[in-house]
C-alpha cells in the first residue's frame, strides 16, 4: 500500500475516469487515484460506511475531484454533506465537471467547494489541468487536520 494519501475521483463516466487517471500519471503525481462512481458511494467511502467500513480509521484522501452530474446523489448534495460533517469539512474538494452553467458554479461555491474546474476538451489541456491541480492541491496547499482546531 502506498504511503501517499489518495486522490478520490467521484466520476460515473468510464472515459473520464480513464482520461483523468492517464492525465494524473502523465503529470507525474504519485498519489493513488481511488474511483467511486456515484454520490452515495462517495459518501460511503469518506465516512467508512456500507462496502467501505474497512476504511474506518484510514486517512481521508488528500483531495476530492467531484463531478456534479452523478447517479443516485448529485455532486452538489455530496459536497453539502462533506461540509456538514466535522471530520470532512476541511477536505479539499475540487469540482471537475463539464458543466458551464452559472447556476452550477454559484451553487458549488455556496456549498463550499474549494475550486471549480471545467473539464478541458483536449487531452493535452486535460493533462496540463491535472498537473496544475496536483501541484497546487497536493504540493502547495495546506489544510487544518480534523479535530485539531475544534
- Mind listing the pLDDT tens digit for each residue in 93-145? 999 999 999 999 999 999 999 999 999 888 899 889 888 998 899 889 888 87
pLDDT of residue 149: 54
Alpha-carbon span 150 to 148, nearest angstrom: 6
| Residue 55 banded pLDDT, cuts 50, 70, 90 | very high
pTM of the model: 0.92
Name the percent of the chain lying above pLDDT 70: 95
68-to-82, 90, 113 alpha-carbon distances in Å: 14, 19, 11
What pLDDT, on a 0 to 100 scale, did the predictor assign at position 1?
Answer: 44
- Which region among 24-33, 64-73, 102-111 has the lowest average model confidence (pLDDT)? 24-33
Helices (H), the chain: 14-26, 39-46, 75-84, 102-110, 123-134
pLDDT above 70 (res 146)? no
Query: Which residues pair with residue 52 across a beta bridge?
Result: none
The radius of gyration of the chain's CA atoms, rounded to the nearest angstrom, is: 14
For the chain, the first-to-last Cα distance in angstroms comes to 31
Amino acid at each position: 500500500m502506498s504511503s501517499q494519501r489518495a486522490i478520490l475521483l467521484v466520476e460515473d463516466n468510464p472515459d473520464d475516469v480513464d482520461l483523468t487517471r492517464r492525465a494524473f500519471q502523465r503529470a507525474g503525481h504519485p498519489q493513488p487515484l481511488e474511483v467511486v462512481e456515484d454520490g452515495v458511494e462517495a459518501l460511503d467511502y469518506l465516512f467508512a460506511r456500507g462496502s467501505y467500513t474497512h476504511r474506518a480509521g484510514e486517512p481521508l484522501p488528500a483531495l476530492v475531484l467531484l463531478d456534479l452530474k452523478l447517479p443516485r446523489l448529485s455532486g452538489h448534495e455530496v459536497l453539502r454533506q462533506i461540509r456538514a460533517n466535522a471530520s470532512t469539512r476541511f477536505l479539499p474538494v475540487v469540482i471537475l465537471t463539464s458543466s458551464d452553467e452559472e447556476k452550477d458554479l454559484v451553487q458549488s461555491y455556496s456549498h463550499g467547494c474549494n475550486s471549480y474546474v471545467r473539464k478541458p476538451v483536449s487531452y493535452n489541456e486535460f493533462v496540463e489541468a491535472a498537473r496544475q491541480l496536483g501541484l497546487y492541491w497536493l504540493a502547495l496547499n495546506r489544510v487544518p487536520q480534523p479535530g485539531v482546531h475544534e
